[in-house]
């Protein structure tokens, strides 16, 4: 399998302050990769860089997948739930890449939307405004939208945070299904047991990469301690590419 993503001495950050520093490596097609690390390690920043929301300060990301084939699910806190839209319409947005913003929804599309809503266990919620959903119901709705997107590269930022065990199990099963279909999935996760059980590969980040490879070889006590130390020692005001921060 070839690389779908290549990081070339990548630095991402905000207002010239790096948040992810000197990242290099490849993500192969069909990978199921967890991105782990302490708070502030740069995990969300990396996903934003891959999704094209944030441009590199230095280095680059080579991606062989067209942006229309990339799906990005931000952290729940970043999603505006006050937007007046119901479950059905939010899920149907997963077809936008096919139908266009103002394209009509054909009968076959309606069947697919209903099927996606049923797959995530939300039958009967079609007309509910998203602002009235519980956190778990909202996340199921967003996964139904992802189902319709049929993206080749799926980026998930803390997709299982604050969800009950049943919801997590259902959504993990969807992630595994996507991966079984050959899609590449990157997920930012804090639950290391979940990562060990379901994600074969892990990138451990602490502004810089600490380790990247087989999950059992990455999530070791020494690596996790090093990541904690590196994040604690990080200077938030470090200038762009300060030599002492270089890998």
37 near ligand ATP, judged by CB under 6 A: yes
Residue from 146, 206, 205, 215 nearest 177 by CA = 146
Residue from 61, 50, 22, 55 nearest 240 by CA = 22
Torsion over CA: 17, 23, 26, 31 (sign): negative
Task: Between 114 and 191, name the residue whose CB sits nearer to ligand ATP.
Answer: 191
186 near ligand ATP, judged by CB under 6 A: no
Name 188's Cβ contacts closer than 8 Å, sequence gap at least 6.
34, 35, 36, 43, 44, 47, 156, 157, 158
Q: Where does the chain have alpha helices with state H?
A: 43-51, 87-92, 96-99, 107-119, 135-149, 165-180, 192-198, 215-218, 221-233
83 near ligand ATP, judged by CB under 6 A: no
Task: Between 78 and 217, name the residue whose CB sits nearer to ligand ATP.
Answer: 78
Q: Which of 14, 118, 124, 214 contacts ligand ATP by CB under 6 A?
A: 14
The crossing angle, in degrees rounded to 10, of helices 135-149 and 107-119 is: 140
Three-state SS for 130? helix
Interstrand relation of 70-73 and 17-28 (parallel, antiparallel or unpaired)? unpaired
Options 32-40, 65-73, 126-134, 169-177: segment touching ligand ATP (CB under 6 A): 32-40
159 near ligand ATP, judged by CB under 6 A: no
Task: Between 181 and 235, name the residue whose CB sits nearer to ligand ATP.
Answer: 235
Options 24-32, 39-47, 143-151, 176-184: segment touching ligand ATP (CB under 6 A): 39-47
Task: Between 106 and 247, name the residue whose CB sits nearer to ligand ATP.
Answer: 247
236 near ligand ATP, judged by CB under 6 A: yes
**C-beta of 20: minimal distance to ligand ATP in Å?**
7
Task: Between 44 and 202, name the residue whose CB sits nearer to ligand ATP.
Answer: 44
Residues that bind ligand ATP (CB under 6 A): 14, 19, 37, 39-45, 236
């Amino acid at each position: 399998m070839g690389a779908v993503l290549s990081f070339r001495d990548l630095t991402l950050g905000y207002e010239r302050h790096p948040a992810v520093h000197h990242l290099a490596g490849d993500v192969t097609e069909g990978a199921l990769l967890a991105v782990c690390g302490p708070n502030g390690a740069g995990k969300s920043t990396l996903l934003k860089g891959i999704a094209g929301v944030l441009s590199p300060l230095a280095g680059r990301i080579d991606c062989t997948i067209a942006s229309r084939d990339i799906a990005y699910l931000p952290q729940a806190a970043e999603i505006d739930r006050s937007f007046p839209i119901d479950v059905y319409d939010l899920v149907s947005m997963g077809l936008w890449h096919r139908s266009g913003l103002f394209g009509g929804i054909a009968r076959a599309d309606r069947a697919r939307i209903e099927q996606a809503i049923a797959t995530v266990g939300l039958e009967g919620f079609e007309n509910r405004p998203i602002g009235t959903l519980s956190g778990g119901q909202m996340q199921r709705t967003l996964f139904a939208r992802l189902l319709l997107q049929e993206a080749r590269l799926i980026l998930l930022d803390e997709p299982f945070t604050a969800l009950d065990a049943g919801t997590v199990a259902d959504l993990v099963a969807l992630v595994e299904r996507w991966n079984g279909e050959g899609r590449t999935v990157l997920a930012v996760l804090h639950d290391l047991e979940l990562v060990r059980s379901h994600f074969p590969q892990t990138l451990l980040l602490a502004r810089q990469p600490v380790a990247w490879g087989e999950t059992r070889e990455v999530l070791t006590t020494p690596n996790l301690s090093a990541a904690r130390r590196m994040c604690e020692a990080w200077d938030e005001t470090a200038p762009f590419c300060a030599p002492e921060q270089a890998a």
